[in-house]
Amino acid sequence: MANESALIARILAGETQLFHQLIRPYEKLVYVTIFAIVKNETEAEDAAQETMINAFRHLASFRGDAKFSTWLVTIAMNEARKRLRKLKAGAEDSLDDTKEESEGDYTPAVLTDWREIPLAALERKELREKLREAVAMLPEKYREVFVLRDIEELNQEETAAALGINVTLVKVRLHRARMMLQKMLVPYLKSQAPPRGGFFRRWLS
């Protein structure tokens, strides 16, 4: 963005107050990226602040060949990973992530009595909560890709750059993340259609 690079040049030239303006469009991006990884509001907020401070301190190392937003997400992702390691070090569980790419079950849940649910049902608040819980349960490497591609809507190349992996791996992990979510969420996505038979049987008898 032309405005953005002008803004960055002025900040580097000493008008540091403009940094507030520079990051305003990305406040949510940074917070949500971190929150979806660390799964803790307080930690995510602090990490988001750190991210912005780091971005300010290292602004001179930003090269215009990447988008500013991608650069910022890279910093946010590193901060989130650092926090997560710290949080995990304190906890017992280490269910994660060292499994080979080929392991695991990434087939979707098969629905035998599926009916397209009305769009209105997606309005349910409970469903959004279930989605957040399901995303939080994804193994880290899948969660990272899902967050950047489907929550932040970065493209494949940007996602690959921010995570330091190649585009093929982005595709593979995204597919698996989506299939895992489909499996976890299907019980909540089904339409609550009334059982067939009762009403008409009464008519027919």
Q: Is 29 in contact with 70 (CB distance < 8 Å)?
A: no
Residue 83, token pair as written in the block: 């926090």
d(CA 195, CA 202): 14
Choose between 48 and 162: whose C-beta lies nearer to other proteins: 48
Q: Residue 54's CB: how many other CB atoms inside 10 A?
A: 15
Long-range CB contact pairs, 5-10, < 8 A, 24+ = 5/64, 8/59, 8/62, 8/68
* Pattern 131-150, other proteins, x by CB under 8 A: xx--x--------------x
Choose between 6 and 199: whose C-beta lies nearer to other proteins: 6
Span 50-69, contacts to other proteins by CB under 8 A: 52-53, 56-61
Where do contacts with other proteins occur on this chain (CB under 8 A)?
A: 11-12, 14, 16-17, 19-20, 23, 27-28, 31-32, 35-36, 41, 45, 48-49, 52-53, 56-61, 107-112, 114, 116-117, 122, 127-128, 131-132, 135, 150-151, 153, 171, 174-175, 178-179, 181-182, 185-186, 189
